[in-house]
Amino acid sequence: MDELIEFNRSVVGEVTAEASASGISQTDAFFERMAALLEAEGEIATADRVTFLASSQGKTVRLDGIGGDPRESEGILSVIVSDFHDGDAAVKINASDAKKAFGHLINFVAAARRAAFREDLIEGSAEAGAASIITSAWSSITKIKLILMTNATYSARTDAVLAGKIDGIPVGWPDLTGPV
């Protein structure tokens, strides 16, 4: 457990230093750092930052990033929620917390398919761009990958999970207990 606490302190320290040096928020610095790791591991081709949290049709919709255009990623739409905690001790999350975060991503993808939702977005915003990518690439999407980037400790065992389907396209997330 001491190793986990020390690792978290190291991550938080690096993120804090990067944020300070570059003049961005810790949340954005964490997103950039984790996105770079996911890109290096081949999980995503690229990551575009989006910071969107709202309500649509009574549901929370959230998107913190998108893993590029699915037409350039073998038909895989990767959507990202980022959850950074800046304390010394690692925060614990469980399967219910992860499922809730993933639900907000699913809600964004489903909402992006609705013209009324897209019309309410600010033209030229990152979220409007993400919604446009989702809509224009929909016929090319074969899988939706939900990604949770966090420095929290996951306290449950979860293998790759099929979270359902959106208009016939499988939605899932990877094993959250394994390495990045």
- 21-48 pLDDT, tens per residue? 999 999 999 999 999 999 999 999 999 9
Q: What is the pLDDT of residue 40?
A: 94
**What pLDDT is stored for residue 79 in this prediction?**
97
State residue 58's pLDDT score: 96
- Among 80, 85, 96, smallest CA distance to 38 is for 80
- What residues in the chain have per-residue pLDDT under 70? 1, 156-163, 173-180
* Residue 73, pLDDT score: 93
Task: Report the C-alpha gap between 2 and 171 in whole angstroms.
Answer: 35
Please name which of 158, 171, 179 lies closest in space to residue 78, comparing C-alpha atoms. Answer: 171
C-beta separation of 109 from 165 below 8 A: no
DSSP state of 70: G
Query: What pairs with residue 162 in β-bridges?
Result: 172
Mean pLDDT of the residues in the chain: 89
β-partners of residue 146 are 79
The pTM of this model reads 0.87
Cβ atoms of residues 89 and 5 within 8 Å: yes
